[in-house]
Chain A
């Protein structure tokens, strides 16, 4: 149980275009979803926290107009990287928790974004 999927697993896009990454909880309802960014050989940096039906809470330094997060349902959150640039190339990982009383996040397999 508690499986989180991400799509796509890898994406290459041209500079200036936008790309959408989906995060789905497959067998549970995710009250909260988290989006992380991971640079090569680095740790995970929390970008934002999203709750279903409300606006995402972004961490300091993360541009909310560039990284659009939508948590439209209890099983789906999307991250859209708008007007992507090469410096946005990274590994993006989402996670989800099951709500009140849950102390654990379940992680997706990650999405490798390369902007050329």
Chain B
């Protein structure tokens, strides 16, 4: 069974500063990797996903993530954050051949301050 760890429960950052949200996973098989964003009282919106190919994945809203197989990581980055990026961010994995079942990390609350 796979597991996902988001090391930081909260990340405060000033507007226009860069940010990295960390995600590590463990699995005995190959995985697909996802980052979702959740605004208060809303569902999840897909930011980006890694299925195969280039390990650097670009998503919406200026976010990108890099898959590092040797470190089993999939950290999310943005070079310059906005106030509107304040939200909860979830890393998730699904194992190949497991029918798209997602396992979520605990979430990281990004708090962008003016």
Residue among B43, B90, B106 with max Cβ neighbours from chain A (10 Å)? B43
Give the size of the chain A interface in residues (CB under 8 angstroms). Answer: 23
Listed in ascending order, the chain A residues whose CB lies under 8 Å from chain B are: 4, 6, 32, 34, 41-44, 46, 49, 91, 93, 95, 97, 102-105, 107-110, 112
Interface CB pairs A-B, < 8 A, 5: A41-B109, A49-B99, A103-B100, A105-B100, A112-B41
Which A residues lie within 8 Å of B104 (CB)?
Answer: 43-44
Which A residues lie within 8 Å of B34 (CB)?
Answer: 104
Q: How many A-B residue pairs have CB under 8 A?
A: 51
Contact of B43 among A42, A49, A108 (CB under 8 A): A108
Question: How far is A72 from B33 in the complex, measured between Cα atoms in Å?
Answer: 30
CB-CB contacts of B73-114 with A at 8 A, as 1s and 0s?
000000000000000001000100001111111110100000
CB distance A110 to B99 under 8 Å? Answer: no
Question: How far is A116 from B2 in the complex, measured between Cα atoms in Å?
Answer: 37
Does any Cβ of A come within 8 Å of B63's Cβ?
no
| Given known contacts A42-B106, A43-B104, A43-B107, A109 and B49 CB-to-CB distance under 8 angstroms | no
Which A residues lie within 8 Å of B32 (CB)?
Answer: 103
Residue on B nearest A99 in the bound complex, by CB: B100
Min Cβ gap B29→A in Å is 14
